[in-house]
Structure 1
Amino acid sequence: MQGMGDTGEACPFEFNFDPATFKVGDVVSYRVTGSLEGFPFVGTLLEVHDDHVIISPDASQSADRYRGTRESRPLVEEREIR
């Protein structure tokens, strides 16, 4: 996300890309399959499990919860997105 704004402007998000250290509250960049493939999304981890994570696209205002893989950029199936 560097270089998307004005010169010298930093990304406003600080991501955790290390699935071994994922914890509730971490901000992650996640991907979605299907027609949304290739677009980056930002979410907050609500739950962290051995083999998956639960992500909220906006933990402060949204009841949406997406199940994603537990990897550096979690993958969410398009059918999870409402």
Structure 2
Amino acid sequence: MQGMGEGGCPFEFNTDPATFKVGDSVSYRVTGSLEGFPFAGVLLEVHDDHVVLTSNVDDKASRMRATRESRPVVQEADVC
């Protein structure tokens, strides 16, 4: 894939939960059968103890609650 070689990842993710803000791109993880796969999302809400993110900003119903850490974790049951 283009951009995935020597130049590294074509995305820029915020990995500092202390600076998370709405609109930031993050790399997140999912528990269960999807564990180990990387996912990319955009933060919709930032709270003291969790975030709400989406993997599809064009789908208003696509919202997932996740932990607030460098790579947020979404429970498999919450995946939209």
Same fold per superposition (TM over 0.5): yes
The structure 2 residue matched to 1:57, chosen from 52, 55, 58, is: 55
Q: What's the secondary structure of 1:5's corresponding residue?
A: coil
**Aligned sequence identity (%):** 64
Q: Over aligned residues, Cα RMSD in angstroms?
A: 1.4
The structure 2 residue matched to 1:46, chosen from 41, 44, 47, is: 44
Q: Distance in 2 between matches of 1:40 and 1:19?
A: 17
Q: Which residue of 2 aligns with 1:17?
A: 15
Q: Does 1:72 align with 2:65?
A: no
Give the CA deviation at 1:62.
Answer: 1.6
Q: Distance in 1 between matches of 2:79 and 2:67?
A: 15
> CA 1:31–1:55 in structure 2 vs 1: closer, same or farther (change >3 Å)?
same
Normalising by structure 1, we get a TM-score of 0.86
In the comparison of the two structures, how many residue pairs are matched?
77
Normalising by structure 2, we get a TM-score of 0.88
Give the CA deviation at 1:68.
Answer: 0.1
Give the CA deviation at 1:81.
Answer: 1.1
Q: What stretches of structure 1 of length at least 5 have no aligned partner?
A: none
